[in-house]
Structure 1
Amino acid sequence: MNEPSSANSKGGFTILKRYFRRELLPLLADLRLAIVLLLAIALFSVSGTVIEQGETLAFYQANYPEDPALFGFLSWKVVLTLGLDHVYRTWWFLALLILFGSSLTACTFSRQLPTLKAARKWNYYTQPRQFEKLALSAEVDGQPANAALANLSQVLQTKRYLIFQDGNSLYARRGIAGRIGPIVVHASMLIVLVGSIIGSMTGFFAQEIVPSGQTFQIQNIFDAGPWAKSQIPKDWSVHVNRFWIDYTPEGAIDQFYSDLSVLDQQGNEVDRKTIHVNEPLRYHGVTLYQADWGIAGLRFHFNNSPKFDLPMVQLETGGKGRLWGAWIPTNPDLSDGVSVLARDLKGTVFVYDGGGSLTATIREGQSAEVNGVQLSIDEIIGSTGLQIKADPGIPVVYLGFGLLMIGVVMSYVSHAQIWALQEGDRLYLGGRSNRAQVTFEREILSVLETLQPIPHPENEEQGDKTSDRTPSPSMQ
């Protein structure tokens, strides 16, 4: 009872296999399809660079309004509906990568590997008429049997050809790396695609604003792949030992630094580094970049009181610079107080009374009398802005790009082939090359010059006749 079902399944598999070989495989291996896919991937990659990725809904509503829509159609609804806010993790972008990878794989197995196999397999020409199909061929005569063939073998060995000989037939090749190069290029592009997919599915991006002296764990995740949960560290944290800014003599920011310590679950320091822009901290596949800064708070005291830490908030200035402010009560019942403002971490605080008038300018370590009390500024507490990324696919992508450069160099190596046949005192010679045709033709001419007939003593007086036999290649 099961025999018809088994036969039907085998027949269906055979039909499917035949369809794949005859229809689907040639379509995937088509160069035009690969070019279209590559252009589409490039286009959407550009859109992912131009359109900010992983921002909030309010950000897209503010920057991509419906009226007027950017370019007449690009509104925040279009951005979110098409997934342009996280292009590299959308199903359709990953589908493009997979389809392009399938095209490269099909081309490799249907074209590149057979070409390499044919290039590595030597064959001999046994008939003079076989040389007629070569673009570059010639005849040399006047030498004893097999003498020209032996001389040719020696000459080609000096030119780094690999020689194969069977009786009076010879085959030589050089530059097989030129045939391997395209395969390496295809393999490297596949590796890059795999690395990109791994990064998209398992990577994450986070931002943290941390005051100097505090410890944090990565929690503020802005963008993450569906399998990124395993990459977010839970067994270690980061302590900001100190944050500071170096200023130029003109007062502009020169560089800002964060002294960071990585702590294990017991609070022991397992790594430490001072980071700045373009010099991040890397630990267990997670990279912490110095990206921003701010003012977290103000440390002060009144007269001989203990020190107080007061948070400061960034004020809206309408694009006229960055400013942080706070209100400090000067009476225990909070009936009176002063406003303090700071623009940077240089240590200067501006004090304003209830009417908005500037009453004092105090630097760190100094004090001034306000509302009948002595206000002392101990420290302006800075906060470091960190961008935190994890992309497990980066090593794979780097490997792919390294192989890509090697494969491109290999592809420029010329693959040259030479055939020769000795019949009596006549030598038939021909060859072809996949590139550098002029250089190869000159090489063949130099080989022919070394194979010119050697005059015998009894024919020395007929030197003029020998010179008439100088070989020359024929373009067919």
Structure 2
Amino acid sequence: MRLFKRLLAVLSSLRLAILLLLLIALASAVGTIIPQQEAPELYLERFNADPWLGLINGNLMLQVQLNHVYSSVWFLSLLALLGLALTLCSWRRQWPSLKAALRWTDYSRPRQLSKLALAETVACSDSSAALNDLALELREQGWNVRQQNGRLAARRGVIGRVGPLLVHTGLVLLLIGAAWGALAGQRLERFLAPGRSLDLLSPAGENRLSLTLQDFAIERDPAGRPEQFSSTLLLSPQGNQQEERTISVNHPLRYQGITVYQADWSLATITVQLGRSPLLQLPLSNFPELGDQIWGLVLPTRPDGSEPVFLSTGSEQGPVQVFDSDGSLITNLRPGGDGAEVRGLPLRVVEIMPASGLLLKRDPGVPLVYAGFAITLLGGGLSMVATRQIWAVAETQQAKLHVGGLCNRNLAGFATELPLLINRVGALHG
């Protein structure tokens, strides 16, 4: 039993909660720095050659689950331990403190008041009348007063004692929501070209929603840099009517528990014509080694696949640069513009089709997280409310009124206000 009580004391201690919060913050920082939910090959290729911090290579990173920090066993264990610590702290400390604050404390002797943080005695001709006037003054100022024969007790701001308990409750709800989202949530990133569709399946394998990209637009500044992306989506839910929605950066779509973000953009295909050939729609690949946001493809100019040229571009507006096998620039082409002769063969770029980068998230823990934040903010606001208590005992034979007070916040301010209140009452019965 003694060991169990020690364990409860450790789990409900403030030091453990602070330590767990620091560890969770550190783990969250690591999850922000290291790319998450990528293919294992990416970590092996990138970090085996250049270990993170010079210590953690790709193999070790996968073993300690740094590739998915927020759903790792050790991170969820930290959340569970912090939730347990907050629950035990609320049960062992905050709840008894709240019950004690709701109970009225009755001080009936002047000696008891003299031991309080604030205590004062005033002489008055009629202490009983002074006590009644003090009770009336307190009620007018919004105090809750309980008056008995020859004494009173008053308090204000007791609701502030609910604040810490609400803060703990909100944090526990937030932790539960975060853990639930990490375990049951889904995350999907896809690039869609206009006219392409994406089917979202339920856990049972049934098609619950189809997304079709109808149009994708990129707004650029005068220098050609992208400023905003927007996608027009056609939603086809199973058994319901189709809906058309438009999303853009910072303006996601929320539908049936699924959130669709406009996350990125890319170039999907290039349509070219060689001589009098039919229009050829060819896929573009990203070449990060050539620079940021560079796409291209290798295009043979002969039927046997010989004498290839390399086409590259960084925008759906062009220009498309054409290089020979030696890396020398042959020409620049504009989509929809005139062609040029390349290796003795007319080459024309008809159009470049951009692709919308969509990020789909389903997080069932979001309502709990939002509720936890709201309750935590409410509790934090209530915690700023000072709880003040006043007791007064009238000594009719000695013509004295004894007053004492307590305050859990801003005791110096209360120490200034209380004498002013007593002097107003004493002046009437001096």
TM-score where L is the length of structure 2:
0.89
Q: Classify the secondary structure of the residue corresponding to 1:209.
A: strand
1:51 aligned to 34, 58, 67, which one?
Answer: 34
Secondary structure at the aligned position of 1:65 is classed as helix
Cα distance, 1:215–1:422 mapped onto 2, change above 3 Å:
same
354 and 404 in structure 1: CA distance in 2 versus 1, 3 angstrom threshold: closer
Say if 1:174 and 1:415, in contact at 8 Å, map to a contact too.
Answer: yes
Unaligned segments of structure 1, at least 5 residues? 1-14, 220-228, 456-465, 467-476
- Alignment partners' CA distance in 1, 2:325 and 2:52: 45
Cα pair 2:294 2:312 within 8 Å, conserved: no
Q: CA deviation at 1:436?
A: 0.8
Q: Any stretches of 5+ residues in structure 2 without a counterpart? A: none
- Contact 2:300–2:306 under 8 Å retained in 1: no
Say yes or no: does 1:447 pair with 2:406: no
Instruction: Tell me whether 1:429 sits opposite 2:403 in the alignment.
Output: yes
Q: 1:347 to 1:213 in 2, by over 3 A?
A: farther
Q: What CA distance in whole angstroms lies between the structure 1 residues aligned with 2:328 and 2:401?
A: 106
Q: Residue in 2 aligned with 1:82?
A: 64
The alpha-carbon distance between structure 1 residues 350 and 27, as it changes in their structure 2 partners (threshold 3 A), is closer
Measured against aligned partners, the alpha-carbon deviations of 1:124-158 in whole angstroms (never above 9, x if no partner) come to: 21222211221211222333252011011011112
Aligned to 1:388: 360
Distance in 2 (alpha carbons) for counterparts of 1:279 and 1:109: 42
Counterpart contact for 2:87–2:168, Cα < 8 Å: yes
Q: CA deviation at 1:415?
A: 0.5
Q: CA deviation at 1:161?
A: 0.8
How far off is 1:185 after superposition?
0.8
Whether 1:262 aligns to 2:235 is: yes
1:345 paired with 2:316, answer yes
Distance verdict in 2 for CA 1:242–1:180, change over 3 Å? same
Decide which moves more: 144-153 or 171-180.
144-153
Answer with 1 or 2: which has the greater Rg.
1
- Give 2:382's aligned residue: 410
* Alpha-carbon distance, 1:69 to partner: 3.7
Alpha-carbon displacement from aligned partner over 1:6-36 (angstroms, at most 9, x marks no partner) = xxxxxxxxx6xx864x333323222222222
Q: Which amino acid aligns with 1:164?
A: R
* In 2: Cα distance, 1:401 partner to 1:31 partner: 21
Give the aligned partner of residue 12 of structure 1. none
| Distance in 2, Cα, partners of 1:234 & 1:341 | 38
Aligned length: 427
Cα distance, 1:201 vs. partner? Answer: 0.8
- Conservation of the 8 A alpha-carbon contact between 2:285 and 2:297: yes
Q: Partner residue of 2:333?
A: 362
Tell me which residue corresponds to 2:256: 284
**Cα 1:156–1:248 shift into 2, 3 Å:** same
Residue 401 of structure 2 is aligned to residue 397 of structure 1: no
Q: CA deviation at 1:391?
A: 1.8
Is this contact kept in 2: 1:112–1:182, CA < 8 A? yes
Q: Which of 108, 127, 142 is equivalent to 2:124? A: 142
Counterpart of 1:63 in structure 2 is: 46
Residues 1:123 and 1:377: Cα distance change in structure 2 (over 3 Å): same
- In 2 relative to 1, CA 367–266 (structure 1 residues): closer, same or farther, beyond 3 Å? farther
Deviation for aligned residue 1:234: 3.1
- Shift of residue 384 of structure 1? 1.8
Q: CA deviation at 1:255?
A: 2.6
SS of the counterpart of 2:183?
helix
Alignment of 1:43-442 (within 5 A): 43-65=26-48, 69-144=51-126, 146-218=128-200, 230=203, 234-265=207-238, 269-273=242-246, 275-301=247-273, 306-315=278-287, 317-319=289-291, 322-327=294-299, 340-351=311-322, 360-368=331-339, 370=341, 375-424=347-396, 425-442=399-416
Q: Displacement of 1:174 after TM fit?
A: 0.4
Q: Does residue 37 of the first structure (1) align with residue 20 of the second (2)?
A: yes
Shift of 1:355: 7.8
AA at the equivalent of 2:29: V
Secondary structure in 2 aligned to 1:217? strand
| Percent of aligned pairs with the same amino acid | 35
Q: Deviations over 1:347-377 (max 9, x none)?
A: 4334557887655543333343647765543
Q: Distance in 2 between matches of 1:320 and 1:392?
A: 36
Cα deviations by residue, 1:364-408 (Å, 9 ceiling, x for unpaired) = 333436477655433212122222222222222122112212211
- Give the letter for the 2:169 counterpart: A
CA contact (8 A) 2:310 2:322 kept: yes
For 1:207 and 1:344, the matched residues in 2 are separated by 21
The alignment yields a C-alpha RMSD, in angstroms, of 2.9
CA distance in 2 between partners of 1:52 and 1:266 (Å): 38
Compute the displacement of 1:262 (Å): 1.6
Deviations 1:201-232 (A, max 9, x none): 1112221122222112359xxxxxxxxx7499
Q: 1:420 to 1:267 in 2, by over 3 A?
A: closer
Aligned to 1:462: none
Amino acid in the other structure paired with 1:108: S
Within 2, Cα distance between the matches of 1:106 and 1:264? 45
| 1:65 CA drift (Å) | 2.3
Distance 1:307 1:397 in 2: 52
One-letter amino acid of the structure 2 residue matched with residue 47 of structure 1: V
Pair 1:439–1:340, CA change in 2 (3 A):
closer
